[in-house]
Homo-oligomer: A and B are copies of this chain.
Amino acid sequence: MTTEATAGLGSVMVATVRRELLLAMRSPGDVINPLMFFIIAVTLFPLSGGVEDAFLATIAPGVIWVTALLAVMLSLDSLFRADYEDGNLEQLLMSPQPLYFLVLSKVLGHWLMACLPIIILAPVLALMLKLPGAGISALVVSLALGTPILVLIGAIGMALTVGLSRSGLLLAVLILPLYVPVLIFGTGVVDAAINDMAYAGLLALMGAMLALAISLSPLAIVAALRISVN
């Protein structure tokens, strides 16, 4: 009755992503909360400062990028915590499949759930903050390139702290410094676009960072998970 039939690596990754989506469907909060946080936090800034179009436009790139960054970081809490608490993480670490890809697909699933909505909604908020049209597309592209990096880096921190209770702020303190380069390049792209300067180079840089993150951080994540489970 047990089946020796083995499925390929691809289907393993698909199954993992599908599970993440399934879970998100079951508890919509995991998708809605990051998005809501993003929107609310962005609106806090006009409320706390001037609302002249010129002023808003200048702060818009920074505000949107910083809040997106915080939203992604906070969303990470749901990445490994549940699996750690109910013991699924142990089972994952004991799977004969290459963990590199299992972790990668988990991260991918999380990105789809937590980040994609943010990227999609970013233009709306950008317009509310009177960001010049030229900046919009650049903003979206930079977020699309940047958020995966944020998730990949953040996942390392999350994997390290998942064993500790009340890890929210600790995580922030650990990984926010690591987020700085992404933030600088991301906002740099938008600013460049607004002042219509070329920003292809910056995008290329971010792409390189993304490639690096994809290839390295899963290794770090796996190592960190082993430590946390230990």
Contact = CB atoms under 8 A, between A and B. Distances in A.
Contact of A40 (B32, B45, B61, B177): B177
A47 B178 CA distance: 13
Given A33-B173, A85-B165, A50 B41 contact: no
B62 A58 contact: no
Contact of A170 (B33, B45, B177, B183): B33
Nearest to A32: B173
Contact of A55 (B58, B78, B180): B58
Contacts of A55: 58
Contact of A45 (B29, B62, B165, B172): B62
A44 interface: yes
Interface residues of A, number: 48
A78 B170 CA distance: 11
A33 B30 CA distance: 24
A157 to B, nearest CB: 13
Given A74-B169, A168-B77, A170-B33, A49 B40 contact: no
A156 B180 CA distance: 33
B75 A176 contact: no
A187 B191 CA distance: 26
Interface string A22-62: 00000001101110110011001101111000010011011
A42 to B, nearest CB: 10
Interface in A119-166: 165-166
A66 B44 contact: yes
Nearest to A48: B62
A49 B44 contact: no
B48 A81 contact: no
> Most B CB atoms within 10 A — which of A55, A61, A165, A184?
A165
Contacts of A177: 40
11 contacts: A33-B173, A37-B172, A45-B62, A48-B183, A49-B58, A49-B59, A49-B62, A49-B187, A59-B59, A74-B168, A81-B166
Please give me the 10 A-B residue pairs with the lowest Cβ-Cβ distance, nearest first.
Answer: A48-B62, A33-B169, A49-B62, A48-B187, A36-B173, A40-B176, A78-B166, A37-B172, A77-B168, A168-B168
